[in-house]
Structure 1
Amino acid sequence: MLLVMGDSLSAAYGIEQGTGWVSLLQARLDGKARVVNASISGETSSGAAARLPDLLGQHEPDIVVLELGGNDGLRGLPPRQFETHMADMIEASQASGAEVLLLGIDIPPNYGRAYRDAFTGVYTRLADDYDLSLVPFLLEGVVLEDGLMQSDGIHPTAAAQPQILENVWPILEPMIEEELNHG
C-alpha cells in the first residue's frame, strides 16, 4: 500500500480529480497495490508532519511518497525548518516499517539563487542522510513546456500529469516490485 503525502501538485489542483498523476498511478498499478492520496492543496511540511502519524497508524503503508515543500518555499519559510519537518516524517515512516520516496521540487527564480539552492539542497541532503530514493525534480519536462502549466504558472495542467507520472515511475516501480515480492 502506498501513501502519498503531498500538496496541490499531488492533489490535482485545478484539474479534474481523476486526471492527476496519483490517480494515473493507481490506474497503472491495476489493483496490484492500493494508493491512498492524503495530499491537500496548500499543505506545508509542518501540516503534513502533524497529520502523518495518524495516517501511518490508519493505513500501515509499505511506501510513503513525500511530495512537499512547494508551499514552504513559496511562503519563504526557512529551509532548515522545512528540513526538520521532512526528517520527522521520514523517521516516522521508517519507524512504521515503510520505505520512503522523496519527490523534489524547485521554486521560482525570483526567490533568489541562495534561497533556491538552500531549499532544493534539502532534498539531496535528506536522500543522502536517510538513504532514500529521490526524484530530483517532479516537474521535469513540464514547467517550461507550452500548455503543461496552468495560467498561474505554478500548477500543472491535466495534459502534464502523464509526464509527472513518468518522472516518478522509474524510481517508484522498483520500490513497488520489491514490496510485492517481499511484502
Structure 2
Amino acid sequence: MTSLIRKLAPYAGAVLLLQGLSACSGENDAANQSLATPSTPSAVASAGAEKADRRLVVAFGDSLYAGYGVLPQESFPAQLEKALAARGIAASVRNAGVSGDTSSAGLRRLAFTLDGLDRKPDLVMVNLGGNDMLRGIDPAETRANLTTICEELKKRGIPIMLTGMIAAPNMGRDYADAFNAIYADLAKRYDAVLYPFFLDQVVTDPTLMLPDRIHPNPQGLEKIVGRVTPLVADALKRDDAN
C-alpha cells in the first residue's frame, strides 16, 4: 500500500485542483460537467424487465461508474457487461452512477434506486468515497455512510462488491490512514468482494487518464474492467452456490 501511495503524485496534483473546484460547487454540480449523460435512479428504474436467465448487476457509485467524459457505451458498466458476456455470463449491468455523488448523496438515493428495480439484484457494486476525499470530508463520516449502505444491502439479502479508493498523498498521513482502511474493513464485516483501488495501475499512467488526471479514458476503463471482471464473475458464481 505504501509503495502505491508514493506513485500517486499526479493524482495528488489533480486532487488539489478539484478540491478548489469542489469548494465552490454544490454536491452534484459535477454531474453538469459530464460529457456523457449520467445515469439517475429514474433511468435505472425505467429499464425493462430482465430475462429470467440474465444476472442483474447494479453499478452504484459516482462519476467513475457514471462514465464522466466518455461515451455511454465506453462507461465502466457498459464495458463490464460486454466483458462478462465474453466469459459466457449473461448479465445486465445497470449504470447507477451519478457524477459528483459523495457517500452521503449515494446513501440518500440508495433505497429509491433499489426500489425502482424490477427485481432484486444478484450483485450491487459500490464505488463511493472519492468525492468525500476530494472535499476533505472526515473519513469517519464516509465510513458511517458506507456502513449504512452495506447494512441496507445486507438487510435486503443483496451480495456486495466494493471498489475502493485511496486518499491522495497530499491529504496527509492521518487522513490517509483513516480513509484507506474503510473499504477493507467493510468488506470483511459484510463478506463483500473487494477490489481495493478502482484506479489501480491506471491513475499513474497519463495515457489511460482524461486530461483532468482523475477520470479514466476509455482505454483506462478497459484496463480496469479487465482486472475487475474476474472478481465479478466469481461473485456471481458465489451467489449461485448460496
TM range, smaller chain: over 0.9
For the residues of structure 2 that align with 1:20 and 1:113, how far apart are their CA atoms?
Answer: 32
Matched AA of 2:61? G
Answering whether residue 159 of structure 2 is matched by residue 104 of structure 1, we say no
Choose from 158, 163, 177 the match for 2:237: 177
Aligned to 1:121: 181
- Among all aligned residue pairs of Structure 1 and Structure 2, give the percentage whose two residues are the same amino acid: 36
Computing the radius of gyration over CA atoms, which structure comes out larger, 1 or 2? 2
Choose from 52, 70, 76 the match for 1:21: 76
**Counterpart of 2:100 in 1: which secondary structure?**
coil
Choose from 147, 156, 166 the match for 2:226: 166
For the residues of structure 1 that align with 2:81 and 2:216, how far apart are their CA atoms?
Answer: 19
CA contact (8 A) 1:79 1:118 kept: yes
CA contact (8 A) 1:140 1:167 kept: no
1:167 Cα offset (Å): 2.5
For the residues of structure 2 that align with 1:137 and 1:170, how far apart are their CA atoms?
Answer: 15
1:170 Cα offset (Å): 2.3
Aligned to 1:55: 113
5+ unaligned residues in a row in structure 2: which ranges?
1-55
- The runs of at least 4 aligned residues of structure 1 exceeding 2 Å deviation read 28-31
1:58 Cα offset (Å): 2.2
1:33 Cα offset (Å): 1.7
Give the TM-score normalised by structure 1. Answer: 0.93
RMSD of aligned alpha carbons: 1.5
Matched AA of 1:47? A
Equivalent pairs, count: 182
CA contact (8 A) 1:62 1:97 kept: no
Answering whether residue 154 of structure 2 is matched by residue 82 of structure 1, we say no
1:182 Cα offset (Å): 5.1
